[in-house]
Amino acid sequence: MSDSVMRHIPPVGQLLEHPEIVPLLTDAARPWITRMVQRLVDAERKRLRRAGDDGAVSRDDLMLTLVAAVLSRHAALLRPTLKRVINATGVLVHTNLGRSLYPRQAVDWLAEAALHNVDLEMDLETNRRGHRGRKVEEKLALLTGAEDALIVNNNAAALWLAVRAIAGTGRVILSRGEVVAIGGSFRMNEILTETGCELVEVGTTNRTTADDYRSALVPGAVVLKVHRSNFALKGFAEEASLAELSDLCRETGQTLIYDAGSGQLADLAELGLDDHHTLSADVDAGADLVTCSGDKLFGGGQAGMALGRRDLIDAMRNHPMRRVLRVDKTTLAAVDGVLTHYLAGDQMDAVPTLRLAARDTGELWTLAEAALARLTDGAPAGWTAEVVAGTAQVGGGCSAEAELPTRLLLWRGPHAELERCHLLLRRGDPAVLARIGQGGLAVDLRSVPDEDLDALVEALQAAWRGLAEPAGETS
């Protein structure tokens, strides 16, 4: 790219004086808008260098391009950064889409706490300072049969704090078959090493017995068992059960911590989701301390929960790092809203993740046929549509092998058109995330809440209208 072309890029000051940009420059906004314009000019300069085209690029064209970019970026920055997405993938707990949906009650209680002052750390009876989260934690302990409970910001934090507070620099014994990667590049052994403990791996990847743990025991050791949430171990395999490890720890006077992964209060065995025990079953099996997530099969937002012996929970609660990992009033209110449904016994209807998982295929078929009837007209020429059987997944790094029967709206047509339709769906507002599979564009209703069905139909109709336009007009 020649220097003459680069000189055509308008300076920042000139852009700030453009008639369409001047109205944006209030006293409060001028500093950040100036920085935004500088970055857009730099980006355009880099783009031109990469293009390497010495053809005619006029100053006027560059001015129009940059003004449009400034106005577009300004408008985008004033909108919410998180965009609503209709999850039509069939993955119920989709990590990239925010995992579980909140029950309406949890949303209402969260909003109430956010909009008003609450007795977060205040005992209104005595007019003295209270204890953050204790009332919510009492509900969790009551539901699980644990002596006490503690809520922190996620399960990794709960496990880290448990090991740090209970084991300290002492020995923690873990099966090699349970040294899991828990998402992204986060590995269990790396998290545990950061606590300062002496991590000792025992057994082999596929076979670990109670005797393997026994051989590594020293006074004060902690035995750690981790649920293999996101993968399954098959074939020539063996593992020590939670009950076996509980017996070992009782015999030898050691502490048993169990990372249950997905916190599950409801028994979902009838749905085929039997690889996770309920938290109360984990407590009954003899775990001294159980940690789990709040945003998977528990059915709420991100939180880490620890439950078990009171002395162990007290050690975590009184540890200095607890303050680093504590949750705010909105998280506590949301967890409270979910827990209260379990106390009331209406969780299968009120908690969206459980309600979606429990849908039978007859209901899904009826919903799919009704949606298809509304979408008969307007579909692209040459496309065919039908309702077909498929399989959905729990997702969220839990129940790796579990498959839920589902019904799909499946459109078949030219592959390029299907891909472009999916792109248009993702660009919509709300966006729709479906999947390309089974020979077409598949919309899985297992993961679509009832309240999203009308918006889903409208989004598909809008995408089809976009397909009828030239590609440049909808890109």
Tokens found for residue 153: 């910001």
pLDDT confidence of residue 228:
81
Tokens found for residue 417: 């058109």
pTM for the complete prediction? 0.91
- Picking from 366, 338, 389, 346, the residue whose alpha carbon sits closest to that of residue 450 is 366
Average pLDDT over residues 176-183: 83
Cite the DSSP H helix spans in 152-197.
155-166, 188-193
Q: What is the pLDDT of residues 331-340, one digit of tens each?
A: 999 999 999 9
For residue 321, how many C-alpha atoms fall within 13 Å in the half-sphere facing its CB? 16
Average pLDDT over residues 16-25: 96
Average pLDDT over residues 269-284: 87
Question: What beta strand segments (E) does 47-125 contain?
Answer: 85-87, 91-93, 122-123
Instruction: Decide if 27 contacts 34 (C-beta within 8 A).
Output: no
Domains of the chain: 3-77 (no CATH), 85-94+356-474 (3.90.1150.180), 104-350 (3.40.640.10)
Average pLDDT over residues 118-128: 96
CA quadruple 256, 259, 265, 266: dihedral positive or negative?
Answer: negative
Element (H or E) spanning 457, and its range? helix 453-467
Q: Phi and psi for 428 in degrees, rounded to 5?
A: -70, 175
Q: What is the pLDDT of residues 361-388, one digit of tens each?
A: 999 999 999 999 999 888 899 999 999 9
Sheet holding 440-444, edge to edge: 91-93, 384-395, 404-412, 440-444, 435-437
pLDDT confidence of residue 57:
75
Element (H or E) spanning 152, and its range? strand 148-152
Average pLDDT over residues 398-418: 90
